[in-house]
Amino acid sequence: MSVLFVASEAYPLVKTGGLADVAGALPPALAEAGEDIRLLLPAYPQALDGVVNRRDGRSMGDPFGIGEVRLIEAQMPDSGLPVYLVDCPVLYRRDGGIYQQASGEDWPDNHARFALLSQIAARMGNPLEGGDWVPDILHLNDWQTGLAGAYLHYYGIKGVKTVFTIHNLRYQGQFDPSIMQVIALPQEAYGVNGIEFHGAVSYMKSALFFSDHITTVSRTYAQEIQTPEFGYGMEGLLQARAEDLYGIVNGIDYGIWNPETDRLIAQNYSIDSLDRKMANKRALQREMGLPVDDDAPLLGFVGRLTEQKGVDLIAENLQYIMSAGAQIVFLGTGDKRLEDFLKELSSSHARISARIMYNEEIAHRIIAGCDMFLMPSRFEPCGLTQMYALRYGTLPIVRRTGGLNDTVTDLNEKEGADGVVFDVPVPQALGKAIGRAITAWKDKNEWRQLQQNAMKKDFGWDRSAQEYIKIYRKPRRVRV
């Protein structure tokens, strides 16, 4: 089977969050398992610079009447996996973020930028387009690829199966109906049995409606999104498609996230040399300008500063964290209010330190150097950072939701305890969880056991890859 894996970001070329980690690691794991898999990404400047063996590919014409599109062929830098880059300079070659301008606003032409990615994916599945490699399966990811199934349908491209993975249902790609004039779909596509959703065009709805199979990145999230609390209006459609909906938890890339080999941290260590982890704590305290103190529990947060991640719940507990004699470090960007708040705290409190930036290296050092990792997310489709933290023996404090529920085992469980899990997303519940963690941390033997449980857990991608392969092998959906 040949598979085209389509995404709007992929590590190490371009990354804003976990989707990039997945798009960077899952396709090579699938290739390793024997699939004939290639990637399709927009030709952002970072992608053009980062790939190797770049060759000018074929022209895909001028599908939206805004400029010629070429399909550049290349390879991914680490894995050597074949990658196609959709080159449309007017849409993708620009400074700023991949979804947002420097000011933080979404690019006003995101509807065209990601419609084009989806259209090219669909057309690559058409043997009549003349490509020398034609996928049997399109593996699509998040709303940015959501129109691909619609293009297949309305362009009459048969014989390609679609698997759509939801990484985050909160972002749906919702646009004004006037975009129908731009995206080269027939007007009839704008309807209930098409891409329309409550008076708008919804790329996510299109994906959920047209895809043969739907997956999401943990079992718990697969259940949650069928309820109004987590479904953001899509719960009805997801319930209707429950038979085609699967939860497959993400893995982590041990080539990048492994305390034994990580070159970005002060001191390598393993499950058998956990004493060496302390050197990372001291180095982190120094780097972040905190008092170097082995006896102060060190808590860390790395992630997008958004409501999803529950940073406000941490903020409400800072007083308590200080009174418990602990220290805390933050690394993240996002909500301007939270950014300013953390900056201000960081400059006025000796034991609070925040870096408001995106920085892979500091992320590794926080995950290696802290004692505990905070992830009190309101919702979390999978979450990768808690798995990184487990691997580094940095015990996660998480809310029981989505992938956090599927990957972290609470202290009170008899077997495999490796973190603290709390239920209700209110500050008091997080405070209690932090208190339980600090109590456990003070008992060095207990803590060592928990760390060993954490580091022993296997989050290799191979297992998830096998589950995706099972879905690739399923027959296409019969539509009635």
Which one of the spans 11-19, 26-34, 61-69, 356-364 is the region binding ligand GLC (CB under 6 A)? 11-19
For residue 138, give the amino acid letter: L
**Of 262, 258, 256, whose CA–CA distance to 11 is shortest?**
256
Region of 87 on the Ramachandran plot (φ > 0 left; ψ -120 to 50 alpha; else beta): beta
Query: Which C-beta is closer to ligand ADP: that of 21 or that of 244?
Result: 21
The window from 69-77, 268-276, 291-299, 301-309 that contacts ligand ADP (CB under 6 A) reads 301-309
Q: Are 124 and 134 in contact (CB under 8 A)?
A: yes
Write the interaction track for ligand ADP spanning residues 302-331; mark x where CB under 6 A is met and - where it is not: xxx--------------------------x
* Angle separating helix axes 444-456 and 427-442, nearest 10 degrees: 110
Q: Tell whether residue 146 is a contact of ligand GLC (CB under 6 A).
A: no
DSSP state, residue 86: E
**CA 427, CA 433: separation in Å to the nearest integer?**
10
Member of 126, 250, 409, 464 binding ligand GLC (CB under 6 A) = 250
User: Taking CB under 6 A as the criterion, which residues in 3-32 touch ligand ADP?
Assistant: 17-19, 21
Stretch that binds ligand GLC, among 119-127, 285-293, 374-382, 468-476 (CB under 6 A): 374-382
Which span sits near ligand ADP by CB under 6 A: 71-79, 171-179, 378-386, 421-429?
378-386
Q: How far is the CB of 429 from ligand GLC (least distance, A)?
A: 20
Whose Cβ is closer to ligand ADP: residue 75's or residue 359's?
359
Minimum CB distance to ligand ADP smaller for 126 or for 385: 385
Q: Is 168 one of the binding residues for ligand GLC (CB under 6 A)?
A: yes
Residue closer to ligand ADP (CB basis): 27 or 383? 383
CB-CB contact of 320 with 351 (8 Å): no
Q: From ligand GLC, ligand ADP, none, which one binds at residue 217 (CB under 5 to 8 Å depending on kind)? A: ligand GLC
Residues 6+ apart with CB under 8 A from 11: 20, 21, 23, 24, 25
Strands, E, within 349-394: which ranges?
A: 352-355, 372-375
- The token pair at 31 is 């290739």
Contact of 329 with 301, CB cutoff 8 Å? yes
For tokens 């297949």, name the residue. 152
- Asked if 391 is part of the footprint of ligand GLC (rule: CB under 6 A), the reply reads no
Number of residues binding to ligand ADP, judged by CB under 6 A: 18
CA distances from 355 to 182, 289, 320, 344 (A): 41, 11, 21, 11
Q: What are the structure tokens assigned to 426, written together?
A: 């209110």
Q: How far apart are CA 400 and CA 406, in angstroms?
A: 9
Query: Using CB under 6 A, which residues numbered 177 to 206 contact ligand ADP?
Result: none
Place of tokens 């008092």: 291
Identify which of residues 21 and 196 has a Cβ nearer to ligand GLC in the complex.
21
State the residues that interact with ligand GLC by CB under 6 A: 17-19, 22, 167-168, 217, 250, 380-384, 403
State the residues that interact with ligand ADP by CB under 6 A: 17-19, 21, 302-304, 331-333, 358-360, 363, 382-385
